[in-house]
Structure 1
Amino acid sequence: MKKTKVGLVGAGGIANGAHLPAYAKMDTVELAAVCDIQVDRAKAAAEKYGIPHVFENYEEMLDLPELDAIDICTPNYLHSIIAVKALNKGLHVFSEKPDAVSVEEVEKMQAAAAQSGKTLMVMRNNRYWETSKYLKQYIQDGKMGEIYAGRCGWQRRRGIPGKGGWFTTKEQSGGGPLIDLGVHMIDLTVWLMGSVRPVSVSGCTYSKFADGGDISDSVNSSFGDAKADGIFDVEDLAMGFIRFENGACLQIEFSWASNIEQEQFFVELRGTKSGSTWSSVDQKLKIFTEEYGQTVDLIPNIDNSRGMQMHEANLRHFYDVLQNGVEPMFVPQQGVDMIKILQAMYTSAQTGREVLL
């Protein structure tokens, strides 16, 4: 099989922590080029992983004739800009989340993908947990009945990433924990619920730790490049409520810093036949149902440490779509719906009103 030749844009934390190690295990993909505005980072990645071409300017990299696809690992605001240019040049595109920082930008991505006929996929790695796959199958088999309500979130006690850098600069990130963490858990929950279309959003956002200390108890706060004299103009807590066209609803909460007991992400679903909860605190999926006239609690023996890493699994799926024509688990409309939710949350927080989509 001919290898898919890929150019990596961005050689920072997520590239080194997840994407590059994944590519090192994939024998059907060849990293042909790497690009970073801090060219020393690109050179270091090229030397470590045997990548032949190094660029400082991504537009020059896109002109490399042998490329089939690119993988975008840049600050959020560049995702859509780079993706559209690559799609217009006839390249397939994989991007880190979030899809874009505005509805206008994500719709440009969707249009470019449709016009070019190339595949556009954005990281949705939490769908690849063993628990996620088990619960999805459980739901598809009808064992949960009609899912009509849910809750999800990712709460940190102290875990602001790259404080003062691009993560906390709205112009570059698009927002705080809502757009950083919210994409993960909202996507997972809505996917489990059947990717139903959102119709309205309401929410509140707060920024209470911008001037606080630099205490951290989360490994995730190591992402990004912190700047002592940098910008912090995003929220550190977002809470909201989403309604869907089928009548279902979803409560959401995301924080980088809150006075809570401990960091956790969680998903809770309520169906007519069963309900479920899953939290990172104990990694146990718990299903609440009834049998033979009695309520029953089920705890499947799922080992989330087994198998591939989730980022690797998502990347492998992308290249399986390109090389073998398998049905994509993610389509651009899901990205449009996601950014509509996030933008509506910020608008609702500013106006104090529910926003119709």
Structure 2
Amino acid sequence: MSGQQKIRIGLIGAGNIGNIHLQEFGKLTEECEIVAITDTFLPLAKQRAEHYGIPVVSATPEELIGREDIDAVIVAVPNQAHASLTIRALEHGKHVLVEKPMGLDASAAKEIVKAQKRTGKTVMVAHQMRWEPLSLQVKEQIDRGELGKIYTAKTGWYRRKGIPGWGTWFTQHEQSGGGPLIDIGVHMLDLAFFLMGEPKPVSVYGATYAEFGPRKKGIGSWGKPDWNGSYDVEDLATAIIKMEDGTSLTLEVSWAVHMDTDNSPFLHVMGSEGGAVLRGGEGKFLTERFDKTVDIPLIKPEEDEGARIRLSRHFLDCIRTGKAPWTSAETGLRSNLIIDAIYESSRNGGEVKLDWSL
């Protein structure tokens, strides 16, 4: 694709996440344009189209994907439709930016990877945490060797009272694929692997619990509950992930828990010469000088264009150059393999080996 040609995008899903994509890609008008939009609730799609000046409202995702004037598709719909829409778009010659998790499970994720390899089109998973300025600062120092050998990390996100949309697709395993593990844990997995240097996970031991949701406790403020719906996912998950190179990662996430927490995501990276911590929008390096421990605060930039702008621009750049995205289909599969293994380990009580075969 010509570097001067605008990339034409179609959006599937006009809800909250879809609206964020409209806002961010709308800031890159010299590089792209949103030419079509659709949603299962068409009045919302029409409202977004009018607000953002999008010329076409397609009646269905299939109609949008089939348009010849679209180069790329953003998939911002409930989890169970991620794989089918992504694969359909790839087979119609479109590049795809898909919301997390890439697949409802590892089986769906493998089908996406196979479709991407078949078509040669770009598939990128929308993990914005890699693009936060402090995350990028830590990554730069790790790549320079300042932390030495990274041998383990611990990450998580404890929400004390934050179950979203009780009774809706969010809390139904068949539609969401799981609870906080697949909702917010997938973000932390992606960020941890990014900073650890993308090691290959080989086995998982994990446990999940549902102490709040089934009793309609721990309800958060996000989403509108459907009290006639159901809840069959976890509200807390914990796991240890072992890598092929001997490194390890600990993961802990919750939607609801009786715990002293500030509800912020956290990540601790531990190296032979130093460590780094990210928590709640702050961060610092930890090392030792003259036999004393030393903490070096990370400095936030005074002006920052935003993580999602960097994410959006990276997607467009990958389409133009053909390079693999940072959050490729393979990284999406990795997250789905780990998540599936945590659920399996919780059921059978033992360690689960990851099956990477396609």
What TM-score range do you get, normalising by the shorter chain? Answer: over 0.9
Alignment of 1:220-231 (within 5 A): 221-222=221-222, 224-231=223-230
What TM-score, normalized by structure 2, do the two folds share?
Answer: 0.94
| Between 257-266 and 172-181, the greater mean CA deviation after superposition | 257-266
Asked whether the equivalents of residues 154 and 255 of structure 1 are also in contact (C-alpha less than 8 Å), the reply is yes
2:189 to 186, 189, 192: 186
CA distance in 2, matches of 1:214, 1:197: 35
Asked if 1:212 is matched to 2:209, the reply is: no
CA distance in 2, matches of 1:6, 1:298: 42
What are the superposed Cα offsets for residues 216-237 of structure 1, whole Å, 9 maximum, x if unpaired?
A: 3xxxx42x44312111110010
Per-residue deviation, 1:293: 3.9
Asked if 1:19 is matched to 2:2, the reply is: no
Asked whether the equivalents of residues 169 and 231 of structure 1 are also in contact (C-alpha less than 8 Å), the reply is yes
Asked whether the equivalents of residues 38 and 56 of structure 1 are also in contact (C-alpha less than 8 Å), the reply is no
Where does residue 265 of structure 2 map in the other structure? 265
Which segments of 5 or more consecutive residues in structure 2 lack a partner in the other structure? none
Partner amino acid for 1:19?
H
CA distance in 1, matches of 2:85, 2:338: 23
Give the SS at the match of 1:181.
helix
Per-residue deviation, 1:7: 0.7
Distance 1:225 1:48, change over 3 A: same
What are the superposed Cα offsets for residues 9-60 of structure 1, whole Å, 9 maximum, x if unpaired?
A: 00111112x2111122111111111111111111111111111111231011
Where does residue 340 of structure 1 map in the other structure? 337
Partner amino acid for 2:251?
I
Give the SS at the match of 1:161.
coil
CA distance in 1, matches of 2:346, 2:217: 26
What are the superposed Cα offsets for residues 77-121 of structure 1, whole Å, 9 maximum, x if unpaired?
A: 111110001101111011111010111111111111111111111
1:323 to 306, 320, 323: 320
1:299 to 297, 300, 303: 297
Between the two proteins, what is the percent identity of the paired residues? 38
Partner amino acid for 1:65?
E
Partner amino acid for 1:231?
S
CA distance in 1, matches of 2:318, 2:65: 21
Asked whether the equivalents of residues 19 and 312 of structure 1 are also in contact (C-alpha less than 8 Å), the reply is no
Paired residue total:
348
Per-residue deviation, 1:174: 0.3
2:11 to 8, 12, 21: 8
Per-residue deviation, 1:131: 0.7
| Between 123-132 and 51-60, the greater mean CA deviation after superposition | 51-60
CA distance in 1, matches of 2:296, 2:40: 50
CA distance in 2, matches of 1:130, 1:327: 21
What TM-score, normalized by structure 1, do the two folds share?
Answer: 0.94
Distance 1:209 1:10, change over 3 A: same
Where does residue 177 of structure 2 map in the other structure? 174
Where does residue 287 of structure 2 map in the other structure? 289
Where does residue 256 of structure 1 map in the other structure? 255
Where does residue 277 of structure 1 map in the other structure? 277
Per-residue deviation, 1:65: 1.3
Asked whether the equivalents of residues 205 and 241 of structure 2 are also in contact (C-alpha less than 8 Å), the reply is yes
What are the superposed Cα offsets for residues 265-295 of structure 1, whole Å, 9 maximum, x if unpaired?
A: 1000111000122211xx3312111224433
Alignment of 1:1-357 (within 5 A): 1-16=4-19, 18-27=20-29, 28-210=31-213, 211-213=215-217, 215-216=219-220, 221-222=221-222, 224-261=223-260, 262-280=262-280, 283-303=281-301, 306-325=303-322, 328-357=325-354
Asked whether the equivalents of residues 128 and 313 of structure 1 are also in contact (C-alpha less than 8 Å), the reply is yes
